[in-house]
């Protein structure tokens, strides 16, 4: 089984690829590409979301096919729509690219993952090898979401 885990934020896409099964899997891109920074040159929403779509398509083309895709969705307060909107749209774009690639997808909150934002790094490190570069809570979010789908 091959799972793509995604954690979007307004300026960065974090992703992991897990390969294996519920009892034995590897974080195959732990020391490769796992962080995509949005270029500062993108100014309009249209430019940003077209670029984001091209990057998700590139991930599917380069690393796919995937058996599933898992997204750790944003849990910001819903009344702060302006800060949630970019991430929500990026999550939707990832889902559309998954659909285009015939890949089932799920979206997770911490409550469904059995962890909390303050504990996600520890939870990820307990179950998978951490990356040598760009290790942070967003990477851990992607990993824990992908692990949920592989199990």
Q: Span 101-123, mean pLDDT? A: 94
Say if residue 93's pLDDT is above 60: yes
Q: Is residue 12 within 8 Å of 136, Cβ to Cβ?
A: no
What's the CATH number where 59 sits? 3.30.420.10
Specify the 3-state DSSP secondary structure of 89.
helix
The tens digit of pLDDT for each residue in 36-83 reads 999 999 999 999 999 999 999 999 999 999 999 999 998 865 655 566
pLDDT band at 122 (very low <50, low <70, confident <90, very high): very high
pLDDT band at 144 (very low <50, low <70, confident <90, very high): very high
pTM, two decimal places = 0.93
Q: How many domains does the chain have?
A: 1
d(CA 52, CA 91): 10
Token duo for residue 109: 């909150």
HSE-up of residue 113 (Cα within 13 Å, Cβ side): 29
Token duo for residue 29: 């891109």
**Domain housing 119:** 2-150
pLDDT band at 130 (very low <50, low <70, confident <90, very high): confident
């Amino acid at each position: 089984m091959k799972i793509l885990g995604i954690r979007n934020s307004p300026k960065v896409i974090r992703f992991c690829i897990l390969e294996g099964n519920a009892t034995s899997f590897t974080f195959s891109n732990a020391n490769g590409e796992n962080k995509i920074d949005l270029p500062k040159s993108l100014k309009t929403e249209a430019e940003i979301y077209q670029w984001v779509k091209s990057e998700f398509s590139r991930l599917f083309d380069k690393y796919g096919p995937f058996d599933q895709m898992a997204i750790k969705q944003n849990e910001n307060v819903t009344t702060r729509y302006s800060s949630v909107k970019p991430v929500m749209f990026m999550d939707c774009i990832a889902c559309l690219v998954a659909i285009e690639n015939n890949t089932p997808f799920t979206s997770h909150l911490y409550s469904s993952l059995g962890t909390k934002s303050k504990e996600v790094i520890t939870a990820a490190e307990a179950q998978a090898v951490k990356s040598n570069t760009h290790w942070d809570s967003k990477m851990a979010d992607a990993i824990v979401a992908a692990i949920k789908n592989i199990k």
